[in-house]
Amino acid sequence: MSNKIKSILWWVFAIIFTLSIATYQRMTGPTYPVSGKISLANKDIKYQLLRSHVTSSNAKLEFKDLDTAITGSILYRRYKTDEQWQEVTMKRDDKNVLYAEMPAQPMAGKLEYKAFLNYKNESFALNPLPVVIRFKGDVPAFIMIPHILFMFLAMLFSTRTGIEALRRGSKTFNYAIITLGTLFFGGIVLGPIVQKYAFDAYWTGWPFGQDLTDNKAMIGFIFWAIAVYLLFKDKTKRTMVVVASVVLLLVYMIPHSMFGSELNTKTGKVVTGK
């Protein structure tokens, strides 16, 4: 097998591996919707309960094509308070969509809620334990899309560079430079801008807070900066490249938005590490 074919196969592996890690990170994070299924009126009803929404509109739960005999409601209150639960009765629009809305909250504000569907005088709780939804500011697409793209490329090139280092390939240094550059632009430049739009703070990681998203970007960048520096000094020093690749993999395995920003309902200030 030629070196060109081997390189293509390693790229295919790196792409599939990176896509798997990105999917895992997104689905295990605290903002990914809670999904489930319930059987009512001889039909399986799939649903998603939101855990993240923008501040510019109310959070809306929708259930499509349900039997008209099915009704529903939501109980909600501000998170980490002893406030009374507020009840919202679901409405049905002209397209047979059953829906209910919860009021938008300030940046990093959170609500906890329970959703119910009713059929034949019985009430069925979709989530016996409250689901927590956090609100964030709108992030423009021209910021968010490049941020996501460059963070994906950083993980992709990190994986491929680690493989290249283990194979003692000739492109290790070039790939390492690209890894560092994409990680810097995606995580260190665009990451804080995303945070500013979403939660009105450029940086909520160490030493100002405990936001794991910011801290992960910083840790990954530091390890890759050291790896590139050592390679620049001596192209044979590949050990740190492998270490940096493993470190970035480990930080990507940590669910996104863990210990993120949260509005303190008593002080009205946004804190991190929650």
Tell me what pLDDT residue 209 has: 60
d(CA 190, CA 195): 9
CA distance linking residue 159 with residue 11, whole number of Å: 9
Measured CA to CA, the distance from residue 170 to residue 122 in angstroms comes to 68
CB 180 within 8 A of CB 221: yes
- Farthest-apart Cα atoms in the chain, separation: 75
Q: Which of 147, 158, 232 is nearest to 197 (CA)?
A: 147
Residue 207 DSSP one-character state = T
Coil, helix or strand for 64? strand
Out of 139-153, 189-203, 252-266, least confident range: 252-266
Question: In degrees to the nearest 10, what's the CA dihedral of 265, 269, 270, 272?
Answer: -90
pTM of the model: 0.87
Judge residue 221's burial from the number of C-beta atoms within 10 Å of its C-beta, 0-12 exposed, 13-18 middle, 19 or more buried. buried
The distance from CA 265 to its chain's CA centroid, rounded to whole angstroms, is: 24
- For the chain, list the domains and their CATH numbers: 3-29+139-271 (no CATH), 34-136 (2.60.40.10)
CB 40 within 8 Å of CB 67: yes
Q: Mean pLDDT in the chain?
A: 89
Cα 39 from Cα 126, distance rounded (Å): 11
| pLDDT band of 271, cuts 50, 70, 90 | low
**C-alpha span between 228 and 190 (Å, rounded):** 21
User: Element (H or E) spanning 21, and its range?
Assistant: helix 3-28
Residue 205 has pLDDT above 70, yes or no: no
- Please write down the HEC assignment for all residues of 128-174: CCCEEEEEECCCCHHHHHHHHHHHHHHHHHHHHHHHHHHCCCCCHHH
Whole-number Å distance between alpha carbons of 51 and 28? 12
Structure tokens at 47: 């649903």
Residues in the chain: 274
Q: What is the structure's pLDDT at 183?
A: 96
Query: CA 111, CA 105: separation in Å to the nearest integer?
Result: 8
Q: How confident is the model at residue 61 (pLDDT cuts 50, 70, 90)?
A: very high
pLDDT tens, residue by residue, 97-108: 999 999 999 999
Residues of the chain with pLDDT > 90: what percent?
Answer: 66
CB distance 53 to 104 below 8 Å: yes
Q: What single-letter amino acid sits at 226?
A: I
